[in-house]
Amino acid sequence: MSIMVVTGGNRGIGYAVCERLAGEGHKVLLVARDAEQGREAASRIGGDVQAVAGRLDTAASVRRLAAGLRDRCARIDVLVHNAGIWPARRTLTEDGLEESFAVNHLAPFLLNHLLEDLLGRVVQVTAGLYAKGRAEPGRTSVGASFSPMRTYADTKLCNLLTVPLFAERWRAAGTTIDAVHPGVIRTGLGDRGGPLGLLLKVAKRTWAAPEEGARHVVSLTGAPGTGRYFDQDRQVPLQGPALDAELARRVWDEAETLTAAR
Residue 212: pLDDT over 90: no
Q: For residues 262 and 153, what is the distance between their CA atoms, to the nearest angstrom?
A: 26
Q: What is the mean pLDDT of residues 81-89?
A: 94
Q: What gap in Å lies between CA 114 and CA 205, rounded to an integer?
A: 39
Q: How many domains does the chain have?
A: 1
Q: Which residues are catalytic?
A: 152
**pLDDT value of residue 161:** 98
The pLDDT score that the predictor gives to residue 151 is 96
- Give the pLDDT of residue 208: 65
Average pLDDT over residues 125-142: 96
The CATH number of the domain where 39 resides is what? 3.40.50.720
Rounded mean pLDDT of 212-241?
A: 95
Residue-wise pLDDT for 33-63, tens only, equals 999 999 999 999 999 999 999 999 999 999 9
Domain that holds residue 180: 3-259
* pLDDT at position 211: 87
**Position 144, amino acid:** A
Alpha helices in the chain (DSSP H): 12-23, 35-45, 59-72, 99-101, 107-115, 148-169, 194-204, 210-221, 245-259
